[in-house]
Structure 1
């Protein structure tokens, strides 16, 4: 009797403390249950262009698009349940028959060869527990399975499983797999494609159709056979699916079509710690059609420059950048930061600070016009010397020519250095310097060399400042991102910053002259048949940099070429022969896909014209200019 009493007491104690332990474990696992209840997996963020086309995917550790349960095809559920857990809708988290069969099979083989896990248990393994084959972990798994079944519906469990499971090739979840392997939405999948995806969880790498298509098809056929045996598909469906061999795509996860642009987006939104994991949709102003054309004409221009300069690959450091914006909104429609992102991720469009040469001159003349001068104002184009013997500077025109007395219109068309220096002297250097800074330039020194382009700027800086002309007196901050949409549908809209500097009438005075730069000046190779084009070339000392800054009524393009080592690109025409033709090719290219683009500049009301000696001059009603101060001698030269 004492032995029996001891046995009963011990058994009771074991059961009591076992139950107590189970209760303790049950309570200790509440945080894990909550994790699955409030399931928040990593989601891939997508960058879309202005027409909602994919520019790139950006992601963290897991590439995933979330699919709500009602997005998942019923056939996907049937295929998964058929092969992984036939009694899923009948058990309460644990399939005791399956566990018993697995134990017998493992004992027969003398090793662990089969598990009896339900889909609920598999979900727990994927999201909460490790895959260690210990008794304690198995107990926790069983307890969690029961808790999850009590907390979530079967549909919620399936939704989480089908979004969380790894399906090979970097894809997590069935939505990512459908788009990745087959370029289809879930509702577009065929029965065979569904079976191929359903076969992946068992061995994702082995059954990856991009690596082992035969094994993937064989596994899918086995699943189809199982579904047919269960009576879940008809004979005709079964035979049709068996015969199908779907087209499989081996895609990179990022699918990045504009890497320099994507880097800019990531940098601009770096204040978001979950940018790559929270499933944002980022809409950008980029137009992938424009981007493709820009890349094509840019590469063509690059090869032309190589040919002209006879550069050998071993000594070639030539590179460049191109930025396309909408003239009236500042939206960035295309952007190239270099000739080959794979060789250099350095974004020359935003980071390359280079001398801008004669592209500064339109701003000098705009300031003069706003100060009361007109395109017909006459100015001497004669030599000047500055400094002393120790610091002597004698600027020259291209070709060392002198043109005598010329109009401001003529001086800007032909980019005359000496006339520009004399204009600055007439307006006042301090006023000119302050105007240059107000436009957004940042001179490193305060001397006359800056008015001929010694100051440095990135192409993006010129994309901003040249909007002074293309946007009729209002400078626009180039805008890349248009909207940021969070996973809960919250929308943040990005607006273009703008600042008014002059009137449309005054800005048109420069625009009309820049049209002549393209029609009859250094920008002739930027001409486009049937379209008004205004622009300015620029070539810096020693031919280190070649620029063209041009615009049509709708589109502004900034192009720069130069060596990364800041060496000379050679005496090959710079902005005229290398860069200006790229502009022309680009505008002609986009007109083919967007023929509705505006082709003519509209002369603002309040701008007048007069012909003198067969030359047409535009001018404004200068009596309305504020603080107008013009000497009597100067007034004789104005209409």
Structure 2
């Protein structure tokens, strides 16, 4: 519904009226990445698409920009799923570069994260400033199957005569005002909110962020009794640590950082600092409520794929995951890598899957 159930913007309103949840402009860091991936999934990519995770550099204005993964290093060709689970900066930059930053900016504005986003590659890593409320509202769209969410602290306003002069709820209910039952049609809630994202794309990115919680940068930090999706975020020099996540019914997010940005200290990441706070809050928030599952859109199909190569898994494959695909899509028949023109085939990829080995060495397209 977009109803804001709880908000904390500081220690004491008496000491400071500044609301850090709605007014503090902060870099979201990697917590912005799901919207880069959502733009990709909405435009022909799949969770099993493979992108090169390797050093990247770009010259702009006479300056050389060399982004790095947190902690350094790179993993070579990896699926989109692995990229978001492990929060790989180099993969995100290559993905944004491949589809174009104008598209990324369009989606960021569509979700309400920014009013006007500068379409430069650094923005794909969450270098632009926004607020916690905007980020949580954007994640709420993903949790709501791609339907637009507008946050509100007020449900409705009535005048002194009881007439409603403002109503936040945009959905209308047909036949809800009948006083008597006269065999009319059953009441129906009509959701006329804007469809910001394909429901199948929303489910795919949700599934990928469930992997963040179970296997990725937040692994072991979130211990709820229901499906949970989310993303960590850590800015340069560990100045801000983020976590934004959701269950099927509730979305929450936070950042930790000084008012005058300064390093939080070694290991001050979204996974180590913010995810445990999210977990503690959500455990209290959902206590006594019935767990539900994320809704799978009609027509979505699940195929067993190798989690590293993105190709269809073979019988007995030890690293298999059931991946969600839209109709007409599926795992690739030929192992190909976005950004692979600068890459030589690694031995570990050839060993990871018989299908990948055959595709790379069989001369039927190969690695590119």
TM-score bracket for the superposition, by shorter chain length:
0.7 to 0.9
1:348 deviates by 0.7
Which residue in 2 is equivalent to 1:350? 22
Q: Look up the match of 1:441.
A: 113
Aligned residue in 2 for 1:457? 130
CA shift digits 1:40-79 (9 cap, x unpaired): xxxxxxxxxxxxxxxxxxxxxxxxxxxxxxxxxxxxxxxx
The answer to whether 1:404 aligns with 2:83 is no
Gaps of 5+ in 1: 1-328, 624-630
Q: Any residues of structure 2 matched to 1:102-141 within 5 Å, and which?
A: none
Q: Deviations over 1:121-174 (max 9, x none)?
A: xxxxxxxxxxxxxxxxxxxxxxxxxxxxxxxxxxxxxxxxxxxxxxxxxxxxxx
Q: Is the 8 A contact 1:477 1:496 kept in 2?
A: no
Given candidates 577, 600, 606, the residue that maps to 2:299 is: 606
1:92-137 CA deviation, whole Å, 9 max, x = no partner? Answer: xxxxxxxxxxxxxxxxxxxxxxxxxxxxxxxxxxxxxxxxxxxxxx
Residue of structure 1 aligned with 2:321, choices 581, 604, 615: 615
Distance in structure 1 (CA, Å) of the matches to 2:5 and 2:143: 15
2:281 alignment partner, one of 582, 586, 602: 586
Q: Does 1:491 align with 2:185?
A: no
**TM-aligned CA deviation for residue 381 of structure 1:** 0.7
Over the residues paired in the alignment, what is the CA RMSD in angstroms? 2.4
Partner of 2:202: 507
TM-score, length basis structure 2: 0.76
Equivalences for 1:92-491 in 2 at 5 Å? 329-387=1-59, 390-442=62-114, 445-491=118-164
Distance in 2 between the 1:572 and 1:440 partners?
30
| Alpha carbons 1:386, 1:393 under 8 Å: kept | yes
Alpha-carbon displacement from aligned partner over 1:552-573 (angstroms, at most 9, x marks no partner): 0100001121101122222243
Secondary structure of the structure 2 residue equivalent to 1:466: helix
Structure 1 position 389, deviation (Å): 8.5
Aligned to 1:546: 241
Residue 606 of structure 1 aligns to a residue whose secondary structure is coil
Per-residue deviation, 1:409: 0.8
Larger of the two Rg values belongs to structure:
1
Name the SS of the counterpart of 1:489 in structure 2.
Answer: coil
1:536-575 matched pairs, under 5 angstroms = 536-575=231-270
Look up the match of 2:289: 595
State the shift of 1:458 in Å: 0.7
What is the rounded CA distance, in whole Å, between the counterparts of 1:569 and 1:551 in structure 2?
25
- Cα separation, partners in 2 of 1:348 and 1:376, compared to 1, 3 Å: same
Aligned residues: 301
**8 Å Cα contact 1:518-1:534 kept in structure 2:** yes
Question: Deviations for 1:300-321, whole angstroms, at most 9, x for unmatched residues?
Answer: xxxxxxxxxxxxxxxxxxxxxx
Q: 8 Å contact 2:301–2:324 — kept in the other structure?
A: yes
- In structure 1, how many angstroms separate the alpha carbons of the residues matched to 2:53 and 2:337? 16
CA offsets per residue over residues 354-407 of structure 1, 9 Å max, x none? 011001110111111110110011111111111168311100011111111111
Aligned-partner SS, 1:595: coil
Q: What CA distance in whole angstroms lies between the structure 2 residues aligned with 1:590 and 1:388? A: 47
Residue by residue over 1:290-343, the C-alpha shift from the partner in whole angstroms, topping out at 9 and shown as x without a partner, is xxxxxxxxxxxxxxxxxxxxxxxxxxxxxxxxxxxxxxx111111111122222
Deviation of residue 632 (structure 1)? 11
State the match for 2:309 in structure 1: none
Q: 1:622 to 1:486 in 2, by over 3 A?
A: same
The answer to whether the 8 A contact 1:476-1:496 is kept is no
Cα separation, 2, equivalents of 1:405 and 1:489: 62
Task: Give the drift of 1:496.
Answer: 4.4
Q: Is this contact kept in 1: 2:35–2:104, CA < 8 A?
A: no
Q: Is the 8 A contact 1:525 1:580 kept in 2?
A: no
Which aligned runs of 4 or more in structure 1 are off by greater than 4 angstroms? 631-637
Kept in 2, the 8 Å contact 1:414–1:521? The answer is yes
The aligned residue for residue 534 of structure 1 is 229
CA distance in 1, matches of 2:83, 2:233: 15
Aligned position for 2:189: none
Deviations 1:256-285 (A, max 9, x none): xxxxxxxxxxxxxxxxxxxxxxxxxxxxxx
The answer on 1:519 being equivalent to 2:214 is yes
